[in-house]
């Protein structure tokens, strides 16, 4: 029985014979070598197609410097434990994939340790990708600045930070926290818990907006209502159960993701509290699950549908040598049953 490798060698020999060239010339032509002139390469490629011969386009593109691949990196953080199956990650990766397809580019999806964001540069240094998109800044703004200083073509989904050298694209996190807390205060809530990890830049900015709204209403900040938890449902539920059983006054929760908000609603029910009568709950992101939860979630809508085009547009501008400033996209509050 003939192996695949043997079949390929026989096909190359047939192509070489019909094209009137050597097997080595066929190999060079199909791998994009500049040693083969255009007319010979075209003739060989036409014969190859007639033999259903598989051309290694990836290798050819690298050799011809026609690589059209963008690496999209979703870091894994052991502390936050936010998995790639998180609905937000799936939505934004899908948005980026659609935008890349629309512009004629391929996507390479990768994961790196969030403690070593600089390792993402290997995808660029090796020639596997011509540019990199990283989903989230995590705790390593400094590493991202170092990549930008090395002129690695890089766009990050995240919040705009001081002394930022890299291009970020993200929702207006301060506005999101402000809108959510103002709404809760406007509905008579005065003891609003904040659920999220402010060591993460986006969460820190949302907390900034939250506290700004409290200050505007002359509501004193109560540190007991700051629940510092990762994007992980078990840890969030434990923190919520502890708060609701502690006796601390709490009549609302602003959660930094819709999944965390769902945990708040479940914890309230387990504690015998009605949502929204006893505990109003606001989420963040406005993922599709927010509509179908019970009760349906009031949440801050992130412009994920626009994010892919903005991220890809910024990266392609960088690749063209254009200066690109960070971009902050508008957010808005969507009112549903959990905090009408």
> Could you read off the pLDDT of 51-90 as tens digits, one per residue?
666 554 444 444 445 678 999 998 887 765 666 778 888 9
Superfamily of domain 4-63: lambda repressor-like DNA-binding domains (1.10.260.40)
Q: What is the DSSP letter of 70?
A: E
Parse the chain into domains and list their residue ranges: 4-63, 69-171+304-329, 173-302
Q: For 79, phi and psi rounded to 5 degrees?
A: -80, -45
Q: Reduced to 3 states, what is the DSSP secondary structure of residue 51?
A: coil
Question: Per CATH, is 69-171+304-329 categorized as 3.40.50.2300?
Answer: yes
Which band of pLDDT confidence, cut at 50, 70 and 90, is reported for residue 106? very high
> Could you read off the pLDDT of 142-171 as tens digits, one per residue?
889 998 988 899 999 999 998 999 999 999
- Which letter, b or e, does each residue of 203-240 get, where b requires 16 or more Cβ atoms within 10 Å of its Cβ? bbbbbebbbbbbeeeebeebeebbbebbbbbebbbebb
Look up the pTM and report it: 0.79
CATH class of the structural domain 173-302: alpha beta
> Could you read off the pLDDT of 263-277 as tens digits, one per residue?
999 999 999 999 999
Please indicate whether the domains covering 4-63 and 69-171+304-329 agree at the CATH topology level. Answer: no
């Amino acid at each position: 029985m003939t192996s695949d490798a043997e079949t390929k060698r026989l096909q190359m020999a047939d192509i070489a014979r019909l094209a009137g060239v050597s097997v080595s010339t066929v190999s060079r032509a199909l791998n994009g070598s500049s040693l083969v002139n255009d007319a010979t390469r075209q003739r060989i490629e036409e014969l190859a197609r007639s033999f259903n011969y598989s051309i290694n386009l990836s290798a050819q593109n690298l050799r011809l410097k026609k690589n059209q691949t963008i690496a999209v990196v979703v870091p894994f953080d052991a502390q936050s434990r936010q998995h790639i199956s998180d609905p937000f990650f799936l939505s934004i990766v899908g948005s980026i994939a659609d935008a890349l397809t629309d512009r004629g580019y391929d996507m390479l999806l990768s994961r790196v340790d969030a403690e070593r964001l600089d390792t993402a540069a290997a995808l660029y240094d090796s020639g596997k990708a011509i540019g990199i998109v990283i989903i989230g800044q995590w705790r390593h703004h400094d590493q991202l600045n170092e990549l930008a200083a090395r002129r690695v073509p890089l766009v990050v989904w995240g919040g705009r930070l001081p002394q930022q050298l890299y291009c970020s694209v993200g929702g207006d996190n301060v506005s999101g926290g402000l809108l959510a807390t103002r709404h809760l205060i406007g509905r008579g809530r005065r003891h609003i818990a904040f659920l999220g990890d402010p060591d993460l830049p986006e969460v820190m900015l949302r907390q900034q907006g939250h506290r700004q709204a409290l200050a505007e209403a002359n509501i004193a900040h109560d540190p007991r209502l700051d629940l510092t938890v990762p994007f992980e449902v078990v840890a969030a539920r434990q923190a919520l159960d502890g708060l609701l059983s502690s006796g601390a006054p709490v009549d609302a929760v602003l959660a930094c993701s819709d999944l965390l908000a769902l945990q708040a609603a479940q914890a309230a029910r387990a504690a015998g509290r009605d949502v929204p009568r006893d505990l109003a709950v606001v989420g963040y992101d406005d993922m599709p699950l927010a509509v179908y939860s019970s009760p349906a979630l009031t949440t801050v809508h992130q412009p994920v549908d626009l994010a892919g085009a903005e991220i890809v547009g910024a990266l392609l501008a960088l690749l063209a040598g254009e200066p690109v400033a960070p971009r902050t996209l508008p957010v808005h509050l969507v009112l549903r049953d959990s905090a009408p």
